[in-house]
Chains A and B, each alone.
Chain A
Amino acid sequence: MDEFAVIDNCLMIRMPEEIDHHRCGYICEMADRYIVQQRVEHVVFDFEDTRFMDSSGIGILMGRYKKISCFGGKVFVLHPDRQIRRILNISGLGRLVEIVD
């Protein structure tokens, strides 16, 4: 599965072009499987290809943040476009994740 890759203790997820409720279940399910089975510490979400995201994306990030932050893990957000940044900031999640361009 090329959207998901484990490198050292990080799970890298290449996010799809559009992130809505229709697509988010699959991402959450796969991410949780990697987090539990491969014991990854950090999760990196790469939004390079993403052109649309609604609150479902916040749910994906928030859910994973809750799962790993209690073990000292961090959530990284790569290449968010302007709309994704706005969404992160409005939700307050922008303060909990590390944003990298």
Chain B
Amino acid sequence: MRNEMLLEFDALSVNESFARMAVASFITPLNPTLEELADVKTAVSEAVTNAIIHGYDNFWGCGKHGDMPPASQEIHPGRVRLTCRTEGDLLHICVEDKGKGIEDVERAMEPLFTTRPEENRSGMGFSFMEAFMDDLEVESRPGEGTLVRMHKRIGVGPWIDA
């Protein structure tokens, strides 16, 4: 069976947990194992966070309970688009922003590469997307935005990790 959903939301850090929860609920009919769920949630969180903090530079909002940004801070009004499609046991996720884009995608995907070392970023986001999904593709154009596509087959885990 084929099933698709599309979410579009403001590039705000409060939406990071919303996005991964939405995907987790959407894929429950596929009966994912707990480990598969954790993998998908981590990958979605990485891609969405990147769109928010790198694509649109909306870095604020790292408060305890979702503090509001300082009044002086300008918030980019950009949106993140999250498409999620299941076809049989195959899950496709696409995270798209119309933000600043990536100059050198290959370099950005190297483990530990980050353009925000001073802000507690580790440069592991793409590595986790790669490790936790079966497949990862990144398309980006400076000034135009970034598109991250990921796939994973769901429901192949239980007999491997029982």
Identify the A interface with B (CB < 8 A): 18, 20-26, 28, 52-56, 58-60, 62-63, 82-83, 86-87, 90-91
Contacts and interface: CB of A to CB of B under 8 A. Distances in A.
Interface string B44-61: 011001001100000001
B106 to A, nearest CB: 19
Given A21-B53, A25-B63, A55-B122, A90 B131 contact: yes
Contacts of B53: 21
Interface residues of B, number: 30
Contacts of B67: 26
B17 A90 contact: no
A26 B63 contact: yes
Interface of B: 13-14, 16-17, 20, 35, 38-39, 41-42, 45-46, 49, 52-53, 61-64, 66-67, 111, 120-122, 124-125, 127-128, 131
26 contacts: A20-B49, A22-B14, A22-B62, A22-B66, A24-B62, A25-B62, A26-B62, A28-B62, A52-B38, A52-B41, A54-B45, A54-B128, A55-B46, A55-B122, A55-B128, A56-B49, A56-B121, A59-B121, A59-B122, A62-B120, A63-B120, A83-B38, A83-B39, A87-B42, A91-B124, A91-B127
A72 B14 CA distance: 37
Nearest to B41: A52
Contacts of B42: 52-54, 83, 87
A20 to B, nearest CB: 5
Contacts of A28: 62, 120
A62 B49 CA distance: 18
A55 B38 contact: no
A32 to B, nearest CB: 10
Given A52-B41, A54-B46, A21 B124 contact: no
B122 A21 contact: no
A55 B53 CA distance: 13
